[in-house]
């Protein structure tokens, strides 16, 4: 009797152990998603894909700012992600052993401009997920109210006249004088500098000075750049100071502000402007008590005071690229390629891209009327096609790793709080860049 009980228990143990180890079947595609803001939309994509093809898309989304470590641990597992995302050339450099050549894929043949892909030595290793743009988002209802004021101190009559840092700065200063009449707490939303929430400044805003520096040094488009002079630091400071000094929040309190705080201030009409990109639309639209009408949301380029910036447009680029795991089994790889071509070329897939994900897809399967429906996406699209305006590419994909960015972000915060000088920030930027690219 005892023996029977013993062996039964043993059997139960073994069976439950084996069950715990079972793997997904061969019709399941494991996709590790980079963008938390797209997580909900990808769930819908997965449902639609299952409905239409019977294949399962398993989407796992890494929490904000933790993609690299999630990928690192997931890819060494027995059932690794087959479809994953790279953040530019730097991402490719750390993951090149895992990136399959996508030159012969259907999706690559539809890419509208081959320069948008990550290509290295004849091979194509990353295909752009979407083109995105960022700049200063402003609420036209508030600026219109300002331009209607009789006692305003600037001669500009509409936002169309704001085409340089000088003009922007004069406008913002005068708007601050009239903030009670405009019903705002400050012109700019909080400069969110909490650690992990500071990417709008250590990455996106820093793109501007570094872009102009790379243009001067004629090294635009290269990777593995092991030093910067940060020669446009004072121009960066121009706009950053403007954000700090004309904001809803005291600069000393910025260390606990998150991006979501800034976006809700904008959505609730407490400020007129906020620096962000077209992906932020859902963060504006979904806030309860949102007072901003979608037709009032417009973009302004990031003017920092560089000569000739009247022709400058938004910063447009690709943050994430699709890559297929080279070390996954061939049938799984095929599954990934099939999914990508379904998503970007089939009618249902395309609808999901424009309606749910809100991506501006750089593929020739999309016609002009298939541009995203949200106002920010539309704005980016129209700025990209504006006559005589150059777009600023995203050079931040060659910035060193997260440690560099965190240190710059921490420096910016301490500068805002007054415990570090601007020269300290410059030093951090230049020195940490050198150290991290050693």
Partner 1 sequence: MQRSLQKYFWLFLLPTLIAFAISFLVPFVMGIGLSFTEFTTVQDARFVGLQNYIDAIVGNADFINAFWFTVKFTVVSVVSINLLAFILALFLTKGLKGTNFFRTAFFTPNLIGGIVLGYIWQLIINGILAGMGVDLTYDASYGFWGLVVLMNWQMIGYMMIIYVAGLQNIPTELGEVASIDGANGWQTLRHITLPLVMPSVTVCTFLTLSNSFKMFDQNYALTAGAPGKQTQMLALDIYNTFYGSVGQEGVGQAKAVLFFILVSLIALVQLRITRSREADV
Of the candidates 34, 42, 95, 342, which one interacts with partner 1 according to CB under 8 A? 95
Nearer to partner 1, 208 or 413 (CB): 413
3-state secondary structure of 229: coil
Of the candidates 8, 27, 69, 421, which one interacts with partner 1 according to CB under 8 A? 69
- Contact between 376 and 299 under an 8 Å Cβ cutoff? The reply is yes
In total, the chain counts a number of residues equal to 438
Shortest spacing between CB 105 and partner 1, in angstroms:
24
Nearer to partner 1, 90 or 278 (CB): 90
Of the candidates 126, 362, 377, 411, which one interacts with partner 1 according to CB under 8 A? 411
- Contact between 271 and 248 under an 8 Å Cβ cutoff? The reply is yes
CA 385 vs. chain centroid, Å, equals 21
Residue with tokens 């641990």: 73
Segment contacting partner 1 by CB under 8 A, of 49-57, 336-344, 346-354, 402-410: 402-410
Q: Would you count residue 79 as binding partner 1 (CB under 8 A)?
A: no
Helices and strands of the chain, counted as H and E runs: 18, 12
Residue with tokens 């479809």: 83
Of the candidates 68, 296, 338, 356, which one interacts with partner 1 according to CB under 8 A? 68
CA 46 vs. chain centroid, Å, equals 22
Q: Would you count residue 93 as binding partner 1 (CB under 8 A)?
A: yes
CA-to-CA distance for 147 and 136, rounded, in angstroms?
A: 18
Of the candidates 234, 385, 419, 421, which one interacts with partner 1 according to CB under 8 A? 419
CA-to-CA distance for 353 and 360, rounded, in angstroms?
A: 8
Q: Would you count residue 276 as binding partner 1 (CB under 8 A)?
A: no
CA 180 vs. chain centroid, Å, equals 33
Nearer to partner 1, 201 or 366 (CB): 201
3-state secondary structure of 64: coil
CA-to-CA distance for 41 and 279, rounded, in angstroms?
A: 12
Nearer to partner 1, 153 or 401 (CB): 401
Q: Would you count residue 413 as binding partner 1 (CB under 8 A)?
A: yes
Shortest spacing between CB 69 and partner 1, in angstroms:
4
Nearer to partner 1, 28 or 402 (CB): 402
Shortest spacing between CB 330 and partner 1, in angstroms:
19
CA dihedral of residues 352, 353, 355, 361 (deg, nearest 10): -160
Of the candidates 296, 414, 430, 434, which one interacts with partner 1 according to CB under 8 A? 414
CA-to-CA distance for 119 and 115, rounded, in angstroms?
A: 8
Residue with tokens 């949102």: 290
3-state secondary structure of 86: strand
Segment contacting partner 1 by CB under 8 A, of 210-218, 238-246, 332-340, 413-421: 413-421
β-strands 321-324, 123-128 pairing: antiparallel
Q: Would you count residue 252 as binding partner 1 (CB under 8 A)?
A: yes
Please compute, for residue 142, the number of CA atoms within 13 A of its CA located in the half-sphere on the CB side: 31
Of the candidates 90, 262, 278, 325, which one interacts with partner 1 according to CB under 8 A? 90
CA-to-CA distance for 356 and 178, rounded, in angstroms?
A: 39
Q: Would you count residue 195 as binding partner 1 (CB under 8 A)?
A: yes
Of the candidates 13, 15, 63, 219, which one interacts with partner 1 according to CB under 8 A? 13
CA-to-CA distance for 270 and 265, rounded, in angstroms?
A: 5
Q: Would you count residue 101 as binding partner 1 (CB under 8 A)?
A: no
- Contact between 128 and 353 under an 8 Å Cβ cutoff? The reply is no
Shortest spacing between CB 23 and partner 1, in angstroms:
17
List the interface residues with partner 1, window 175-194 (CB under 8 A). Answer: 194
Residue with tokens 């793997």: 23
List the interface residues with partner 1, window 361-400 (CB under 8 A). Answer: 400
Q: Would you count residue 309 as binding partner 1 (CB under 8 A)?
A: no
CA-to-CA distance for 154 and 391, rounded, in angstroms?
A: 28
Shortest spacing between CB 172 and partner 1, in angstroms:
23
Of the candidates 132, 213, 379, 407, which one interacts with partner 1 according to CB under 8 A? 407
Q: Would you count residue 63 as binding partner 1 (CB under 8 A)?
A: no
What is the binding site for partner 1 (CB under 8 A)?
6, 10, 13, 66, 68-69, 72, 75-76, 90, 93-95, 97, 194-196, 250, 252-253, 255-256, 400-404, 406-407, 410-411, 413-414, 417, 419, 435-436
């Amino acid at each position: 009797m005892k023996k029977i009980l013993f062996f039964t228990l043993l059997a139960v143990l073994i069976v439950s152990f084996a069950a715990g180890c079972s793997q997904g079947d061969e019709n399941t595609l494991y996709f590790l998603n980079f963008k938390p803001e797209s997580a909900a939309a990808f769930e819908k994509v997965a449902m639609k894909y299952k409905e239409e093809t019977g294949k399962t898309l398993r989407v796992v989304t890494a929490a904000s700012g933790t993609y690299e470590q999630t990928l690192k641990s997931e890819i060494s597992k027995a059932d690794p992600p087959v479809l994953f995302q790279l953040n530019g050339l730097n991402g490719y450099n750390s993951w090149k052993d895992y990136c399959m050549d996508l030159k012969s894929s259907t999706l690559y043949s539809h890419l509208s401009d081959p320069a948008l892909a990550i290509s290295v030595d004849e091979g194509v290793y990353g295909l752009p997920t979407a083109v995105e743009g960022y700049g200063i988002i402003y609420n036209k209802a508030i600026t219109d109210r300002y331009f209607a004021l009789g006692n305003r101190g600037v001669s500009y009559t509409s936002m169309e006249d704001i085409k340089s840092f000088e003009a922007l700065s004069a406008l913002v200063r005068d708007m601050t004088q009239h903030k009670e009449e405009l019903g705002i707490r400050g012109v700019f939303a909080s400069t969110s500098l909490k650690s992990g929430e500071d990417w709008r400044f250590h990455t996106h805003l820093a793109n501007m000075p570094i872009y102009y520096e790379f243009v001067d040094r004629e090294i635009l488009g290269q990777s593995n750049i092991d030093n910067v002079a940060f020669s446009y630091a004072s121009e960066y400071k121009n706009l950053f100071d403007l954000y700090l000094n004309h904001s809803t929040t005291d600069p000393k309190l910025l260390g606990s502000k998150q991006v979501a705080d800034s976006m809700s201030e904008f959505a609730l009409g407490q400020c007129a402007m906020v620096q962000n990109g077209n992906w932020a639309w859902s963060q504006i639209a979904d806030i309860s008590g949102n007072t901003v009408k979608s037709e009032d949301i417009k973009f302004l380029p990031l003017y920092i005071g560089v000569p000739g910036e009247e022709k400058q447009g938004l910063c447009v680029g690709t943050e994430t690229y699709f890559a297929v795991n080279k070390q996954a089994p061939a049938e799984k790889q095929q599954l990934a390629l099939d999914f990508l071509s379904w998503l970007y070329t089939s009618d249902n897939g395309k609808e999901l891209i424009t309606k749910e994900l809100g991506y501006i897809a750089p593929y020739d399967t999309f016609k002009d009327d298939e541009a995203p429906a949200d106002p920010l996406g539309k704005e980016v699209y129209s700025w990209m096609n504006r006559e005589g305006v150059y777009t600023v590419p995203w050079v931040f994909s060659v910035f060193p790793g997260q440690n560099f960015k965190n240190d710059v972000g921490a420096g910016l915060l301490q500068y805002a709080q007054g415990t570090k000088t601007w020269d300290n920030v410059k030093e951090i930027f230049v020195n940490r860049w050198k150290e991290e690219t050693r």
